[in-house]
Chain A
């Protein structure tokens, strides 16, 4: 067991002892408070993405000439991005499993593979953005119809991409620190939770933003 794990264990034992003497409350929901904080962040972020998707639905519904611009190549690209992101969800699970069995090298390797997958996802997404920009799409105008299309597309996918970038950076930092013995397995677990959430959001972005706006 690493020093970081021992420290966590010591705090847990201390908390349990204090609880018996009535000095401290039990852990809420029997999970570490850092994990609870991540869950609370995730539900607030889910509401943020929900609000953005609802705002997009509002302007899409009220626009008479909403453009349907995504051709086969964009749809295949979105499917490839889904494959990469869902695969990184699996690799981050492997990182958590390795960390829980104190396999530092394995946990580091899987964490880095996950972060690299995130970077590949972003590159594919940037390629999609560049393609749309070359076709004339901007935040407030485009050659196809409702001018708000660009604002909706770039803000929703941009916010998601910012989350992927943040997650890739966080996983790299946590992976390196875990390998060096500064972080415990639960830190990888908490950031894996965040990474799965990023994946979850993408599962709604693809059908609502890409597939509903497919050229027919």
Chain B
């Protein structure tokens, strides 16, 4: 099998996998309830497949992956500091027990 054929086959498998996960997401949301963690986990798997295979980040130099991924994840993780204030608003007092 040539490299082009193998690459097309991989793209088709990834395409099928992403669509299958989208269907699983809906089925899980309807049958088990749309839990945030379940939805997020499935979305992260879809995102990983898209970034690595469709955007070909896995074919780039490791230094590019190192330059892009940790920085972006750091910013997104730091955004989680809002939750404490969000919960405070629910009870209208700071960090209620």
Contacts and interface: CB of A to CB of B under 8 A. Distances in A.
Contact of B86 (A62, A86, A197, A216): A62
Contact of A197 (B19, B55, B82): B55
The contact size tier of chain B is 35 or more
A97 B40 contact: no
Interface string B26-56: 1001100110100110110011001100110
Interface in A170-216: 193, 196-197, 199-200, 203-204, 206-208, 211-212, 214, 216
A47 B72 contact: yes
Interface in A66-112: 75, 79, 82-83, 86-87, 89-90, 93, 97
Interface residues of A, number: 41
B29 A54 contact: no
A56 to B, nearest CB: 11
Contacts of B8: 97
A55 B23 CA distance: 27
A183 B39 CA distance: 40
B61 A47 contact: no
Contacts, number: 117
Interface in A42-58: 43, 46-47, 50-51, 54-55, 57-58
A82 B26 CA distance: 11
Given A93-B54, A203-B47, A204-B47, A31 B60 contact: yes
B34 to A, nearest CB: 5
B76 A50 contact: yes
- The SS class assigned to the A binding surface is helix
Nearest to A47: B75
Contact of A29 (B4, B26, B60): B60
A196 B50 contact: yes
Contacts of A154: none
A39 interface: yes
23 contacts: A29-B60, A43-B71, A43-B72, A50-B75, A54-B79, A55-B82, A75-B30, A79-B22, A87-B15, A89-B54, A97-B8, A196-B51, A197-B55, A199-B50, A200-B50, A200-B51, A203-B18, A203-B46, A204-B43, A207-B40, A211-B25, A211-B34, A212-B34
